[in-house]
């Protein structure tokens, strides 16, 4: 079997972790000088012009489309579960390295973020959305194509839609689409109220009954920047739009800011993965562990918890207008991990951006790498048009000779698909005959183990009696959890794909699309504040804030979220805004309202 291994950990020598003595500072967009903003736009344009490398371990040779394609293919595994924050942190780090590798973005600067909640009432007035930088928010183009700036129609093409994740088949299928909504977003004051979680599980709302992300800020940002039909609104291919990186810079800062409150938060990680057959899981259940690798990227989660850990991360964030004071927390006791992460060094400030991987091959790494050589059918498009053919719930087959095996991926043979929009990569690493022979021999020896683990579809073992499936007379299915009073109803016409403690995923038997189902939760009723003004419009008062936009149910479901939970969070946010408005800026502060006040 002739394997093209793009696995940087198969190197000849071990590279030890660097110390993070001079971390790069990631600054808020408005804190950059005009010259720095110009460099950033030039660098992303240069990165967008690079051909795809079809690998994700070495950011020096990655092109813009590499990031789009792997995010699209990993969207199911990297959203709505414990991997969300570490996956996107690793993605941001690789992007930062790739930006530096263009030779345009300075090696001692972190990439910027957009603190849009600090201007929640008029974020659209940012100079980001001008011809000089990222281009127009809206246009009169029938396909909502961006028409100005370096990402304009005719200057930039989106990534090839490898697995129909973008699902655009009419009009201009190559232009960047943006149809932003000029509506209030989640305010910095409300986001600050979500920072009081006492554990990572609570911070990510992954425990029953705790909803600490009460603002839905991540989904709101995607929707208001992208709008109906925009690339940014698509959960899979949103990195097509450069605003993705500034939004996710803020998303990472949100996690970073929570982590800086207590030392224990630099070690705290847990929860569940999307399903037991996540290629980066343990192959037994859906339990998330810091010892697991992230999808796509050659890093374990424990390497991504501390942004100044030096292995590989070495950056911090600037203070920005949205950093309103937080309520002090009672920090939990510090419990450090018993094992150190694998040696993986990537330069911090002053580095050229080169990504160098060590060669420590622990058993878990080898098991994971071998598991990647077993192909599974791709799961149907997540939140988009149906994907024809069988879903990942089908069987498995051995990887074909010549397949590109990429670290953190399940099946990946895209070289022949990159015609027209993308060029096939030429910089791949040919494994020598000794390594190839060893891997091939080990595959046969572990065939039974891998087939068993990859075929597992349910992260909660039935023999543990954690849940019971009941087929109802109308062919719907009721999932009853034995350790709680929760139940999930799966309609007829869906085949259950995975069951987790907080959700279940089922495949539509007609369209092949996956859909998440959730336990019913009590509806939070809106209670009007007696002293709060009603129907506040954006910019109508120097202090008062308008409510954040209510996102469509179809969009929330396309993000794999519970709409009922979203509605409760939105109601909670409205009541927090009411309390702020009733205070009339006497004791409470919002950078958004004060900005309006100062402009009058």
Task: Say whether pLDDT at 242 is over 60.
Answer: yes
Q: Worst-scoring range by mean pLDDT, 61-65, 294-298, 434-438?
A: 434-438
The pLDDT assigned to 18 comes to 55
Which residue in this structure is represented by tokens 């009954």?
209
Measured N-to-C along each axis, helices 433-445 and 363-371 cross at an angle, to the nearest 10 degrees, of 90
Percentages (nearest 5) of helix, strand, coil residues in the chain: 30, 10, 60
pLDDT 10s digits, 119-166: 999 999 999 999 999 999 999 999 999 999 999 999 999 998 887 888
Q: How far apart are CA 331 and CA 456, in angstroms?
A: 38
Task: Say whether pLDDT at 365 is over 50.
Answer: no
Task: Say whether pLDDT at 267 is over 70.
Answer: yes
Contact at 8 Å (CB) between 293 and 300?
yes
Task: Say whether pLDDT at 528 is over 90.
Answer: yes
Q: CB atoms < 10 A from the CB of 131, how many?
A: 12
Q: What is the mean pLDDT of residues 466-471?
A: 87
* Residue 55 vs residue 521, higher pLDDT: 55
How far, in Å, are 109, 118, 137, 346, 371 from residue 25 at the CA level?
A: 6, 19, 28, 16, 37
pLDDT level of residue 460 (50, 70, 90 thresholds): very low
Task: Say whether pLDDT at 522 is over 70.
Answer: yes
24-317 fold = di-copper center containing domain from catechol oxidase (1.10.1280)
Q: What is the mean pLDDT of residues 467-474?
A: 92
pLDDT 10s digits, 482-496: 777 889 999 999 999
Task: Say whether pLDDT at 4 is over 80.
Answer: no
Q: How far apart are CA 281 and CA 274, in angstroms?
A: 10
Looking at the chain, the whole-number percentage of residues with pLDDT higher than 90 is 53
pLDDT level of residue 497 (50, 70, 90 thresholds): confident
pLDDT level of residue 215 (50, 70, 90 thresholds): confident
Q: Worst-scoring range by mean pLDDT, 130-144, 323-337, 389-403, 562-576?
A: 389-403
Measured N-to-C along each axis, helices 64-73 and 84-101 cross at an angle, to the nearest 10 degrees, of 170
* Residue 48 vs residue 354, higher pLDDT: 48
* Residue 438 vs residue 184, higher pLDDT: 184
Q: How far apart are CA 30 and CA 122, in angstroms?
A: 14
The pLDDT assigned to 455 comes to 31
C-alpha 157: how far from chain center: 22
C-alpha 495: how far from chain center: 26
Which stretches does DSSP call E strand in 179-295? none
Contact at 8 Å (CB) between 509 and 497?
no
Please give, one letter per residue, the 3-state secondary structure of 113-136: ECCHHHHCCCHHHCHHHCCCCCCC
pLDDT 10s digits, 300-321: 999 999 999 999 999 999 999 9
Which residue in this structure is represented by tokens 């259940």?
285
Q: What is the pTM of this model?
A: 0.77
The pLDDT assigned to 116 comes to 97
Backbone phi and psi for residue 38, each to the nearest 5 degrees, phi listed first: -65, -40
Mean pLDDT for the chain? 76
pLDDT 10s digits, 541-597: 999 999 999 999 988 887 778 888 889 989 989 999 999 999 999 999 899 986 554
Which residue in this structure is represented by tokens 């910019």?
539
Task: Say whether pLDDT at 37 is over 60.
Answer: yes
Exposure string for 226-240, b = 16+ CB within 10 A, e = fewer: bbeebbbbbbbbbbb
pLDDT level of residue 403 (50, 70, 90 thresholds): very low
Tokens of 1: 């079997």
The pLDDT assigned to 212 comes to 56
Q: How far apart are CA 67 and CA 94, in angstroms?
A: 9
Contact at 8 Å (CB) between 355 and 94?
yes
Long-range CB pairs of 197-203 (<8 Å, 24+ gap) are 197/258, 198/329, 198/330, 198/332, 199/268, 199/270, 199/332, 200/82, 200/265, 200/268, 200/269, 200/270, 200/271, 201/270, 201/271, 203/255, 203/258
Q: What is the mean pLDDT of residues 284-290?
A: 81
Q: Under DSSP, is residue 318 helix (H, G, I), strand (E, B) or coil?
A: coil
- The structural domains of the chain, with segments of one domain joined by +, span 24-317, 420-462, 467-517, 523-599
């Amino acid at each position: 079997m002739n394997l093209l291994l793009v696995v940087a950990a198969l190197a000849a020598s071990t590279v030890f972790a660097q110390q993070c003595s001079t971390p790069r500072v990631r600054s808020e967009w408005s804190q950059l000088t005009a010259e720095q903003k110009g460099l950033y736009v030039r660098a992303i344009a240069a990165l967008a012009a690079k051909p795809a490398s079809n690998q994700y371990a070495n950011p020096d040779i990655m092109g813009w489309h590499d990031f789009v394609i792997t995010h699209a293919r990993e969207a199911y595994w990297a959203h709505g579960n414990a991997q969300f924050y570490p996956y996107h942190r690793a993605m941001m780090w690789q992007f930062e390295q790739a930006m530096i590798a263009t030779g345009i973005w300075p090696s001692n600067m972190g990439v910027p973020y957009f603190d849009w909640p600090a201007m929640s009432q008029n974020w659209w007035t940012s100079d980001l959305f001008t011809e000089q930088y990222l281009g127009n928010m809206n246009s009169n183009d029938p396909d909502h194509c961006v028409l100005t700036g370096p990402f304009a129609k005719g200057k930039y093409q989106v990534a090839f839609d490898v697995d129909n994740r973008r699902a655009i088949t009419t009009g201009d299928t190559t232009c960047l689409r943006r149809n932003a909504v000029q509506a209030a977003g989640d305010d910095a004051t409300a986001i600050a109220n979500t920072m009081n979680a006492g554990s990572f599980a609570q911070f990510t709302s992954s425990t029953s009954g705790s909803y600490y992300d009460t603002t839905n800020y991540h989904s709101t940002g995607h929707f208001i920047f992208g709008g109906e039909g925009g690339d940014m609104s698509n959960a899979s291919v949103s990195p097509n739009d450069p605003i993705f990186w500034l939004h996710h810079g803020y998303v990472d800062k949100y996690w970073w800011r929570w982590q800086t409150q207590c030392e224990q938060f630099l070690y705290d990680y847990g929860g569940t993965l999307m399903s037991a057959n996540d290629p980066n899981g343990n192959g037994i259940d859906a339990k998330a562990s810091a010892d697991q690798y992230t999808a796509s990227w050659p890093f374990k989660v424990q390497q991504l918890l501390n942004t100044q850990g030096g292995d590989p991360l070495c950056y911090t964030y600037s203070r920005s207008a949205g950093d309103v004071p937080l309520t002090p927390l009672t920090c939990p006791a510090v419990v450090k991990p018993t094992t150190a992460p694998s040696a993986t060094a990537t330069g911090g400030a002053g580095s050229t951006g080169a990504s160098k991987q060590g060669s420590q091959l622990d058993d878990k790494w080898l098991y994971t790498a071998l598991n990647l050589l077993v192909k599974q059918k791709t799961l149907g498009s997540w939140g988009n048009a149906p994907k024809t053919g069988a879903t990942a719930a089908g069987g498995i087959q051995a990887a074909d000779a010549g397949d590109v095996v990429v670290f953190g991926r399940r099946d990946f043979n895209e070289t022949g698909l990159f015609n027209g929009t993308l060029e096939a990569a030429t910089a791949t690493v040919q494994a020598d005959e000794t390594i190839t022979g060893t891997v091939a021999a080990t595959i046969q020896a572990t065939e039974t183990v891998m087939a068993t683990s990859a075929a597992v579809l349910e992260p909660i073992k039935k023999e543990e009696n954690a849940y019971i499936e009941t087929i109802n007379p109308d062919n719907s299915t009721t999932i009853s959890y034995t350790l709680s009073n929760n139940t999930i109803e799966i309609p007829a016409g869906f085949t259950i794909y995975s069951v987790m403690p907080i959700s279940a995923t089922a495949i539509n038997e007609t369209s092949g699309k996956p859909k998440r189902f959730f336990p019913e939760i009590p509806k939070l009723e809106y209670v009007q504040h007696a002293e709060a003004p009603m129907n506040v419009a954006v910019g109508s008062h120097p202090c008062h804030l308008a409510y954040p936009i209510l996102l469509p149910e179809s969009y929330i479901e396309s993000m794999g979220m519970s709409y009922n939970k979203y509605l409760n969070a939105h109601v909670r946010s409205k009541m927090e805004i009411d309390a702020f408005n009733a205070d009339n800026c006497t004791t409470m502060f919002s950078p958004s309202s004060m900005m309006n006040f100062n402009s009058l």
